[in-house]
Amino acid sequence: MPLRKTATLDNVGYRWVPLLLVLLLGGCSYYRQLALGQLDLLARREPIAHILADPARDPQLRARLAGALEARRFASEALGLPDNDSYRLYVELDRPYVVWNLFATEAFSVEPLMHCFPIAGCVAYRGYYRQGDARGAAALLSLQGKDTFVAGVDAYSTLGWFDDPLPSSLLRHDDERLAALIFHELAHQRLYLPGDTAFNESYASFVEREGLRQWCAQRGLPAVSTEREQRYRRFVELVLETRERLRTLYASALPDEVMARRKQAEFDRLRANYRALRDGAWQGDGRFDGWFARPLNNASLVPFGLYDQWVPAFEALFEAVGGDWARFHAEVAALAKRPADERAARLTAGLEAAAQR
């Protein structure tokens, strides 16, 4: 499918460049790095169709991008996701991730330090285009006694403000995972509720999972391994169980030195529980070893649960509308307009209905 427009300076996405320039010239150093990073991505985008048409380009790259373009087309035609040039453009990065997110908490709290932005609302992290900047900011927070965690991010959505490119960092994944991430990020463009991270991520995660299931079925590929999914969910459960025990600990009136010892004991317990599971029921499957190899603290627990909390409720809603994507997206949009307490109550009812199936 030919592109309707290319990533040149007259691209409609550049209507927002004046805003970026304001941030660059007049904002704080954090916003300046955001503006510079986004402008760099915009300037380096290439239409995937042009790469596919150039026989001089790397054959392996062309094959991967051809598959990504098929998934991109499927996203709009079958899943009801936005039909624009996002992920029909490519950026070759000179770094392993497109951005690094910094999470932080107080030393005796599992609640993240929140950061509020004009469009995205309040989120539990700050993003940096350079790993060194993220680590520097983390070091400053650590000096203030905060727990910090820096995580690389393969891709993100600008929520439709720009035609987001497919960064080379995504190509580290296999074709199925690449397709799933495209579905996830496009879901954020379809619907985003400022200030409700769990709602946004659970919705996008459901679209990602159901979209991938349908994508694999259409191509005659094996379904995503249920064993793999079950092990991931068990891993998340271990982390969330630790977070709840820590929440109870931090609500106590214990002296700080006692609290610190018990805090460390909880992280030691988490590691031991994981090793027992890995070496026992999982028969040596160490896919999560990398996460446990890093120092663990309150901040490293923050991302968990946000992506999964309401997924069963969205699954139940999808079934209730007969698997009709247009009706599903409309129902979710209507739910997003409800007051927060009513929205949470309806999602909780959805969880209960899903548990009874």
Average pLDDT value for the chain: 89
Nearest partner of 352 among 321, 307, 312, 311, judged by Cα: 312
Q: How many CB atoms lie within 10 A of CB 283?
A: 7
Structure tokens at 175: 């074709």
* pLDDT surpasses 60 at 21: no
> pLDDT (tens digit, 9 = 90+) per residue, 102-144?
999 999 999 999 888 766 678 889 999 999 999 999 999 999 9
Instruction: Indicate the domain borders of the chain.
Output: 12-174, 311-355
Q: Please list, in sequence order, all residues whose beta carbon lies within 8 angstroms of the beta carbon of residue 268, skipping any fewer than 6 positions away.
A: none
The predicted structure's pLDDT at residue 209: 94
Q: What is the pTM of this model?
A: 0.85
Write down the residue that tokens 């590929």 correspond to. 221
The predicted structure's pLDDT at residue 272: 97
Mean pLDDT of 138-151: 97
Among 305-309, 330-334, 341-345, the least confident range: 305-309
The predicted structure's pLDDT at residue 119: 65
Q: Positive or negative, the Cα torsion across 19, 22, 27, 32?
A: positive
Cα separation, 3 vs 323, whole angstroms: 30
DSSP state of 114: P
What is the residue-wise DSSP string for 217-285?
HHTTPPPPPHHHHHHHHHHHHHHHHHHHHHHHHHTS---HHHHHHHHHHHHHHHHHHHHHHHHTTTTT-
Mean pLDDT of 153-158: 88
Mean pLDDT of 80-97: 96
For residue 265, list its beta bridge partners.
Answer: none
Contact call for residues 207 and 213 (beta carbons, < 8 A): no
Cα separation, 64 vs 59, whole angstroms: 9
The predicted structure's pLDDT at residue 27: 55
Mean pLDDT of 209-238: 89
Nearest partner of 159 among 77, 84, 80, 76, judged by Cα: 84
* pLDDT surpasses 50 at 24: no
DSSP state of 111: S
> pLDDT (tens digit, 9 = 90+) per residue, 247-286?
999 999 899 999 999 999 999 999 999 999 999 999 999 9
CA atoms within 13 A on the CB side of 103: 19
Cα separation, 211 vs 216, whole angstroms: 9
Percent of the chain predicted with pLDDT > 70: 92
* pLDDT surpasses 80 at 34: yes
* pLDDT surpasses 60 at 13: no
Instruction: Choose from 64-73, 122-131, 195-204 the range with maximum mean pLDDT.
Output: 64-73
Cα separation, 135 vs 317, whole angstroms: 41
Percent of the chain predicted with pLDDT > 90: 74
For the chain, how far is it from start to end, CA to CA, in angstroms? 41
The predicted structure's pLDDT at residue 10: 30
* pLDDT surpasses 50 at 221: yes
Which is more confident, 184 or 124?
Answer: 184
Structure tokens at 216: 């694999």
Number of H helices, E strands in the chain: 13, 8
Contact call for residues 126 and 299 (beta carbons, < 8 A): no
Mean pLDDT of 299-303: 94
> pLDDT (tens digit, 9 = 90+) per residue, 315-327?
999 999 999 999 9
Furthest-apart CA pair in the chain: how many Å?
Answer: 68
Q: Please list, in sequence order, all residues whose beta carbon lies within 8 angstroms of the beta carbon of residue 66, skipping any fewer than 6 positions away.
A: 52
The predicted structure's pLDDT at residue 3: 29
The predicted structure's pLDDT at residue 355: 76
The predicted structure's pLDDT at residue 28: 73
